[in-house]
Amino acid sequence: MTSDPTKAPFGSVFGENLPISYYDGESWSDPVVVPIDSVTFGPATHALHYSSECFEGLKGHRQPDGTVKMFRPQKNITRLRNSTERLFLPKPPVELCESLFGLAVEHNAEVTPDPPGSLYVRPTIIGTEHNIGAAGRPSRTAAFYVITSPVGEYLPPHALRIVVETVHPRTTPQFGVVKSGANYAMALSPLLAAKRDWNADQVLFAPGGLIEETGAANFLLIDEGHVLTSALSEAFLHGVTRDSVLQVARSLGWKAEERDVSIDELREWAARPTGEMALAGTAAILGGVGELVLEGEIVTVGTGQTGPTTTMLRTMLTEIQQGLRPFTFR
């Protein structure tokens, strides 16, 4: 890796060392660390045809003592294991997850940028059976590997413009909670339409008028001393960032609500002078929303800029991740 990876587009540069374990139909092999370029899968691989794949996304942050520490990896391990259940992939034991995640960070620590950069960690499980006749059954074999990518700070260059989609869901209701590639493919059509028609950055899915999440992040309504977000359901991904922001807000004595949020409430919140909204996810932590496109009209959110409360929460979470601010998550 010669040029500065923090200047490259997010996720386009990879750590060279890839921990991997294979499932042979009965058990998982002991993890080995191999060069990322040495791994190959055939064109008939089950995952490539029948979407038997799931993944995770978390970050390792360099701490003041020089070590690299992942942020709340147990949450990603739980979510990954839940995803395998829904996809009928073999469910890896927690110890195997810990071992593969840990090896990924250990063997790529040298290329981990200093803060505000970090090591993005992408655990992946795919069905590997080489058989295009297996549409109606799970893959008998699988691979579990952890890609790493040194990344710079990921901050949206401007307050985001978000189209609110009130008819179609992001994916099927029972699959929103699964982190699988097909969900992202399904969200592409509304996302590309929002970019083309409104020059928007993302889509907020609110089927039936109730808010769920955006194409790649959870959604928060923020005000002075107050965070509001939709209550967890099977229909959307249970984000680690969402949970972390709620816990930080509660520790400050703020009101942190998880309940149904309607389009009407969204409109009312946007009209408040101190009303803020943000996308919450691992990549950007919090991305401020400046405008909504609601029922064909552009609605300014608060001042139209990323708000001070959003910025404060983002700074606090960043400091916790980088080991600069002590915090114990539940």
Ligand X SMILES: Cc1ncc(COP(=O)(O)O)c(C=O)c1O
In whole angstroms, how large is the CA radius of gyration of the chain?
Answer: 20
Q: Is 318 in the site for ligand X (CB under 6 A)?
A: no
What pairing do the DSSP bridges indicate for beta strands 218-223 and 226-229? Answer: antiparallel
**Total residues binding ligand X (CB under 6 A):** 13
The 130-169 contact track toward ligand X, x by CB under 6 A, reads ----------------------------------------
Q: Which of 108, 282, 318, 321 is the binder for ligand X (CB under 6 A)? A: 282
Q: Is 281 in the site for ligand X (CB under 6 A)?
A: yes
The values of phi and psi at residue 279, to 5°, are -90, 135
Q: Which residues of 98-128 are buried (b: 16+ CB within 10 A; e: fewer)?
A: ebbbebbbebbbebbbebebbbbbbbbbbbb
- Of the pair 220, 292, the CB lying nearest ligand X is at 220
Determine the interface stretch with ligand X among 30-38, 87-95, 249-257, 275-283 (rule: CB under 6 A): 275-283
The values of phi and psi at residue 81, to 5°, are -65, -35
User: In 34-157, which ranges are continuous DSSP H helix?
Assistant: 46-50, 73-87, 94-107
The 56-85 contact track toward ligand X, x by CB under 6 A, reads -x----------------------------
The values of phi and psi at residue 176, to 5°, are -60, -30
DSSP symbol at 137:
S
- Of the pair 76, 108, the CB lying nearest ligand X is at 76
Considering only residues 211 through 250, tell me which ones interact with ligand X, judged by CB under 6 A: 213, 216-218, 237, 239-242
**Residue 184 beta carbon to ligand X: minimum distance, rounded to whole angstroms:** 7
Q: Which residues bind ligand X (CB under 6 A)?
A: 57, 213, 216-218, 237, 239-242, 280-282
